[in-house]
Amino acid sequence: MKEAVNSKRPVNLDLRTIKLPITAYTSILHRISGVILFIGLAALLYGLDLSLSSEDGFARVKAFLAYPLVKLVIWAVLSALLYHLVAGVRHLIMDMGAGETLQGGKLGSQIVLIVSAVLIVLVGVWIW
């Protein structure tokens, strides 16, 4: 029986102790924000359809949007949209050849997190 190439390598399955680089966190968040957008968009499209169906439907949606939990969900979906947009722009810039080095990737990830945080706070102020 043949041994694995690096059989003496430690196996660490405790996710709390694994140290990931900042680029990994921005990539994981980009994927999570995409999933949130996929799910949240269905709910938002249903609300749009209901609001456009009649005056009564519009009034129902308007009353529904006054609940704090609904505002929180809207804020979460908009936050995912903004993060996904900023991280997507970073990917487009990297596709053009800028920021492909290790240092450039780290700087790009930091910029994505800072710009996204500012935009998310601003949209939170706008909603509330």
Q: Is the pLDDT of residue 8 over 60?
A: yes
**Residue 84 marked in a binding site:** yes
pLDDT tens for each residue of 89-108: 999 999 999 988 999 999 99
pLDDT band at 70 (very low <50, low <70, confident <90, very high): very high
Residue 117 scores a pLDDT above 90: yes
Give the global pTM: 0.82
pLDDT reported for residue 100? 87
Q: 60: which 2 tokens?
A: 């129902």
Q: Residue 61: which residues within 8 A CB-CB, separation 6 or more?
A: 47, 50, 51
Is residue 102 within 8 Å of 45, Cβ to Cβ?
Answer: no
* Domains of the chain in sequence order: 21-125 (1.20.1300.10)
Residue range 1-19: average pLDDT? 68
pLDDT at 128 over 90: no
User: Which is more confidently placed, 115 or 7?
Assistant: 115
